[in-house]
Amino acid sequence: MQRTASVEAVTAAGGAGVSDVMYRVEERMSGLLDGYGHLLAAHAQATISAGGKRLRPLLVCLASGVPVHESDQLVSSAVAVELVHAATLVHDDVLDGASLRRGRPTVVAAGGRLLATATGDLLFSRAFAELAENGSIEAVRALSRAASGLAAGELMQRADAWDASVSLERYLERCRLKTAVLFRGACELGAFSGGAPARSLGQFGEAIGLAFQLLDDILDVTGPPERTGKPRGADLLDGTVTLPLIVGRGRDRRLAELELRSLRSAEQAADVCDAITATGALEVARDRALAVVARAKETLPLLPAEQRSALELVADGVVERYS
Amino acid sequence: MQRTASVEAVTAAGGAGVSDVMYRVEERMSGLLDGYGHLLAAHAQATISAGGKRLRPLLVCLASGVPVHESDQLVSSAVAVELVHAATLVHDDVLDGASLRRGRPTVVAAGGRLLATATGDLLFSRAFAELAENGSIEAVRALSRAASGLAAGELMQRADAWDASVSLERYLERCRLKTAVLFRGACELGAFSGGAPARSLGQFGEAIGLAFQLLDDILDVTGPPERTGKPRGADLLDGTVTLPLIVGRGRDRRLAELELRSLRSAEQAADVCDAITATGALEVARDRALAVVARAKETLPLLPAEQRSALELVADGVVERYS
């Protein structure tokens, strides 16, 4: 039997407390940008309300304990993490010139680069304002560490773009920075609101964040586009080298000799995706993601059974998407 | 006798404590970005070390008391404020496509938009990390409030671009957001490190920040370019309507009928600057800046004489640049 570890399922497993907090997170985010000008608020709001999985706020909740005890500190922590995530998405879309995200026009497509850059900056500063309102200085420390990592990861991705010889180690470090540090931050912030050890929950968060990114990179090769919201091989066309290609180029000489810049069309990118798939590289990448999740679950600290189950469900969920 | 209220003069007036702290601020900023990758660090570092007046860190120092008592909290506060300022400059240059700042290539010119956006984000998150390391939650609150204002102000400027009918009130609100809120934040952070009342020092900071922006907008009309580092009328060519034009268009029909988008060259912009100057609008703007500074000095709370003098010197300095 296949478990579907969607956010809804985990929310249900986490009991009424989780859905109460998640509801307050949504409410808080939608009221948050009032007073920042109609235009800005509209775009920032559209970004936030476009939704997404709310996986990071959910992790904040579950890391704080199950059943979740609603508190202003917890809600603010969850909101702050999601706002940093949203800010990153808005800036990433500026850099990529992306026109759609989650089926809606991106801020950069709807309002231009200027508006999108300012919107991202505003979301970013509101994240810290929100945390400072109800959080502790150690929470600010954790979130700013995560935010620095995200910026460094974004940069690393740009620095390594088009370089097909990028090493596995460097790829994993990039995943850690661009994705895993914020999952770590989410778990740390949750732990601060609850009573669990922040350090080990943070490590758990970092591991499942890495697995999340590994799976994202697999989905870029497998699609289907109607689930991922982007054409297969979009990373390849962006010059972003990920694990499937790293493994594939060790197994197929044509892939090893591939010049990414020569790819011009979605069709060509899809052909490369097929070649990567044929090498068995996706299984290697998926096995690694599963191993990371398994190890993450093993290293969970001593927690109440309900909390452990809910966190394990999220961990399984990040590698079971679309499978 | 004309007072030259340069940072150097104020630093001297503030005694050894100020220069010690300012030295530690520089030292701290240059060590700060180690560990964020060679490329990123290089660009962020270049931005920081290109200097500038360090007026905001100086305000943090002076608001904390004179003689300044060096503490980690004070140094971190001063660094955090300057990093937020630097982040804003980097993103502004991306939006403006500016190629030079302070006589050096901008990050966007040297490394491209991608790198510059990530560099700005990193500087921004390092600001909060720095503050969280040694500061209080109320300091984070003040800085995040200021940072949100900066983003909103940037956006307001873009929203109002090319609209010559922008009102005085809206112009002043834009100045408050894009400049004055960070001066307010600097004074509040300083007050938290010392013992003076943060609220009234914050108001003082906001007032001189407004005066600073008023003078900046005057200097855009008067030049000289070799002092301001940009051609006369650069704001006009960017579509940014400021007080000199707002006043001028009430006094000269040609200015009232001017279509900013029709300006194509630096020569045409310089001609408009001459027309604005001929209306006496610059005197009106300068008088307003002086009045704002005078009122700011009056509203300073009860402070030790040395601290008051140093703060007054900075206040006078912001409206005496290049005069």
B84-113 per-position pLDDT tens digit: 999 998 888 877 777 777 677 777 777 777
pLDDT exceeds 70 at position A14: no
Domain annotation covers residue B238: yes
Looking at A28-42, A295-309, B199-213, which range is the least confident one?
A28-42
Q: What local confidence, expressed as pLDDT, does residue B4 receive?
A: 41
Q: Is the peptide bond before A105 cis (omega within 30 degrees of 0)?
A: no
Residue B35 has a pLDDT of: 63
Q: B155–A124: do the CB atoms touch at under 8 Å?
A: no
Report if residue B52 sits inside a domain.
yes
pTM here is: 0.89
Mutate to test the interface with B, among A85, A130, A155 (most CBs of B within 10 A): A155
For residue A107, name the pLDDT band (cuts at 50, 70, 90): confident
| Range B210-226 average pLDDT | 93
Query: How many A-B residue pairs are in contact by the CB < 8 A criterion?
Result: 145
Chain-chain contact of A147 with B121 (C-beta, under 8 angstroms): yes
Lowest mean pLDDT among B16-25, B108-117, B191-200: B108-117
The verdict on residue B1 lying in a domain is no
pLDDT (mean) for A14-34: 80
Distance CA B166, CA B260 (A): 13
Beta strands in A23-177 (DSSP E): 100-101, 104-105
Tell me: the pLDDT tens digits for B264-291? 999 999 999 999 999 999 999 999 999 9
Kindly state whether residue B2 falls inside one of the protein's structural domains. no
Split into its structural domains, chain B has a count of: 1
Nearest to A39 among B136, B140, B159 (CB): B159
Is the separation of the CB atoms in A195 and A65 below 8 Å?
yes
B304 falls within a domain? yes
DSSP code for A196: S
Banded model confidence at residue A78, pLDDT cuts 50, 70, 90: very high
Phi, psi (rounded to 5 degrees) for A186: -60, -45
**Is B176 within the bounds of a domain?**
yes
Average pLDDT, chain B: 87
Residue of A123 and A48 predicted with greater confidence: A123
Q: Please tell me which residue, A273 or B7, carries the higher pLDDT value.
A: A273
* Closest A-chain CA to B173: A37
Average pLDDT value for residue range A296-319: 92
Q: What is the pLDDT of residue A41?
A: 65
Q: Cβ of B91 and A129 within 8 Å?
A: no
Taking 60 as the threshold, does the pLDDT of residue B73 lie above it?
Answer: yes
User: What is the domain range of residue B19?
Assistant: 7-319
Q: DSSP of B206-251, one letter per residue? A: HHHHHHHHHHHHHHHHH--HHHHSS-TTHHHHHT---HHHHHHHTT
Our separate counts of H helices and E strands in chain A read: 17, 2
Which positions in chain B have a beta carbon within 8 angstroms of at least one beta carbon in chain A?
A: 36-37, 39-40, 91, 94-95, 113-115, 117-122, 124-126, 128-129, 131-133, 135-138, 140-141, 143-145, 147-148, 150-152, 154-156, 158-159
The 3-state DSSP class for residue A144 equals helix
- Report which of residues A218 and A99 the model is more confident about: A218
Range ranked top by mean pLDDT from A92-101, B10-19, B251-260: B251-260
CB within 8 Å: B155 and A119: yes
Burial of B106 (0-12, 13-18, 19+ CB in 10 A): buried
Q: Which residue has the higher pLDDT, B106 or B206?
A: B206
CA distance A125 to chain B (A): 5
CATH number of domain containing B197: 1.10.600.10
Assess: ipTM above 0.90.
no
Token pair belonging to A73: 């500190």
pLDDT digits (tens, 9 = 90+) for A161-187: 999 889 999 999 999 999 999 999 999
Query: What angle (nearest 5°) sits at the alpha carbon of residue A141, between those of residues A139 and A143?
Result: 70
How would residue A15 be classed by pLDDT, with cut points 50, 70 and 90? low
pLDDT of amino acid B144: 95
Tell me which of A81, A114, A150 to substitute to probe the interface with B (most B C-beta atoms closer than 10 Å): A114
- The minimal CB distance from A151 to the residues B121, B143, B144 is found for B121
Least confident of A8-12, A81-85, A264-268, B143-147: A8-12
pLDDT digits (tens, 9 = 90+) for B130-142: 999 988 999 999 9
pLDDT for A6: 57
Is the pLDDT at B3 greater than 90? The verdict is no
Q: Are the beta carbons of B311 and B63 closer than 8 angstroms?
A: yes
pLDDT at A27: 85
In order of A85, A88, B91, B246, the CA distances from B125 in angstroms are: 13, 12, 14, 37
Match 């009056």 to its residue by tokens. Answer: B298
Cβ contact, residue pair B148, A40, below 8 Å: no
Q: In which element (H, E) is residue B104 found?
A: strand B104-105
Answer yes or no: is pLDDT of B193 > 80: yes
